Amino acid sequence: MRRRRSADDGAPPPAYSRSARPRRAPRDRMEPGEVVREAWRDVSTGVARPLLAAGVLALIMAMSGVWAARGVVDLSQEAREFRTAGASTAIMTMEMVVDGAVCDSLATYPGIEAAGALRPVAQGVRFAVSPSRAIPLFEVSVGFIDLLSVIGAARANPDGGGVSGVWLPEATAEALGLAPEGPWPDLAIPAGGQVRVAGLYTFPEDGRQQDLSFAVLAPVPAPDGLALDSCWAELWPATYEVSRLAVAVEPLRIDGSKAVNPTFAQLNSTLGEQFDGPARFAEVARAPGVALAGAASLAAGFVLIRVRRLELADSRHCGLSWATQGWTMLAEAACWILPAAAVAAPVVLIAALAGNPEPPGPAAAAGAMAVVCAAAGAAVGTLLGTWTIAERQLFQMVKNR
């Protein structure tokens, strides 16, 4: 049979029209509820590897958080050691010139935590338990007892007394037959009468001046004008600005022509003259632990997305938009970031509490910063990994498989 010719036979093909080009299907836009359900399906079925991801991130968070917290704890321990060793205590000496009341009042000045004055008594004191041995005796202002609690450990007599009695270092108490735990009885003196023991204090041999390591301290009222030999003040932060003690000097002329010049010393110079706590804390805050936590968690989030690149590229090929896929991946990441943080938080808190002589707030805050940085890094790594996956890579991925 002969085919009937059509009117269109031999006619030139129609001109190509841009409007006639087939259009891509519109990208799928999912509602927030659908995004959450899709993310939960991937998590519950194990496609998102939530257990592996949470375990890796919890390890990163715990290690970095403990590192940051312990850095602050170590700094607090160094500061406490510096103070209790007497390295932050400055001594201004001017024989029979220091005003005891003014020295006590220095404790109200900013940067001075405690202050007190003292002077030695030439004849010392003897007790009936050891009448042949004179023990050095120091008269001290009332504020000096508060200073003892800073540069060591002072314990009042459980029977009461406070400053109404003498204070003994542990070495003196042991020599007089007093038990360390107390309560301590009154001590008899050869001339008759008894002396009340107000408390004991520690004064270890750690490099500090040992004048008070074997002595008896007798608190005396400090009315204005009471002249003592030296004023001790605990300066904190310990920048050793001895000029802060100059207000305790009562000018006294000798022979009507010379002023008594004060001499300044450090109770314990073996640990250095200064301990700049704020600067040291800033160094700890800039430690690489937080940055390493963010970088490691970013890499973990990125890798966890890249291992699913074929699946994600296929979803893009089916019309899923990058924004929707990014929100879905973030929702999946939240399902392992939050549990990882919940596991790491108690570990960091324990690290901030263990052996910390100060309130745990700053140490816990430093550890929490590392945990938050790791969580942010994981989220950024997830988005970055999602952004690197494109639909055009799908066929190359299939071919490579």
The more confident residue out of 20 and 234 is 234
Q: With bands split at pLDDT 50, 70 and 90, how would you rate the model's confidence at 220?
A: confident
Whole-angstrom Cα distance, residue 173 to residue 166?
11
Task: State the number of CA atoms in the 13 A half-sphere of 89 facing the CB.
Answer: 28
List the structure tokens of 328.
Answer: 């879905």
The answer to whether residue 15 scores a pLDDT higher than 70 is no
The answer to whether residue 262 scores a pLDDT higher than 70 is yes
| Residue range 63-122, pLDDT digits in tens | 999 999 998 999 999 888 888 888 888 888 887 777 788 888 888 888 888 888 888 988
Whole-angstrom Cα distance, residue 64 to residue 344?
10
| Residue range 286-317, pLDDT digits in tens | 777 788 888 999 999 888 888 776 666 656 65
Q: Percent of the chain having pLDDT more than 70?
A: 74
Whole-model pTM above 0.85?
Answer: no
For range 187-200, the mean pLDDT: 86
Q: With bands split at pLDDT 50, 70 and 90, how would you rate the model's confidence at 392?
A: low
Per the CB < 8 A criterion, the answer to whether 344 and 65 are in contact is yes
The answer to whether residue 370 scores a pLDDT higher than 70 is yes
Residue 113 phi/psi, 5° resolution? -80, -35
For range 364-381, the mean pLDDT: 92
Write down the pLDDT at residue 58: 94
Per the CB < 8 A criterion, the answer to whether 66 and 347 are in contact is yes
Residue 355 phi/psi, 5° resolution? 70, 15
The answer to whether residue 175 scores a pLDDT higher than 70 is yes
Question: Nearest Cα to 148, choosing from 105, 202, 80, 110?
Answer: 202
Per the CB < 8 A criterion, the answer to whether 88 and 152 are in contact is no
Write down the pLDDT at residue 244: 55
Residue with tokens 């804390």: 281
CB atoms within 10 A of CB 380: 16
Whole-angstrom Cα distance, residue 322 to residue 175?
82
CB atoms within 10 A of CB 57: 29
Per the CB < 8 A criterion, the answer to whether 224 and 99 are in contact is yes
Per the CB < 8 A criterion, the answer to whether 220 and 139 are in contact is yes
Find all residues with CB under 8 Å of 15, minimum gap 6, and list them. none
For range 340-344, the mean pLDDT: 94
Write down the pLDDT at residue 14: 52
Find all residues with CB under 8 Å of 385, minimum gap 6, and list them. 301, 302, 303, 304, 305, 306, 329
Write down the pLDDT at residue 373: 92
Distance of CA 7 to the CA centre of its chain: 91
Min mean pLDDT across 75-89, 260-274, 314-328 is at 314-328
Distance of CA 143 to the CA centre of its chain: 30
The answer to whether residue 356 scores a pLDDT higher than 60 is yes
Peptide bond just before 237 cis, omega within 30 deg: yes
Whole-angstrom Cα distance, residue 369 to residue 281?
14
For range 119-138, the mean pLDDT: 87
Write down the pLDDT at residue 239: 62
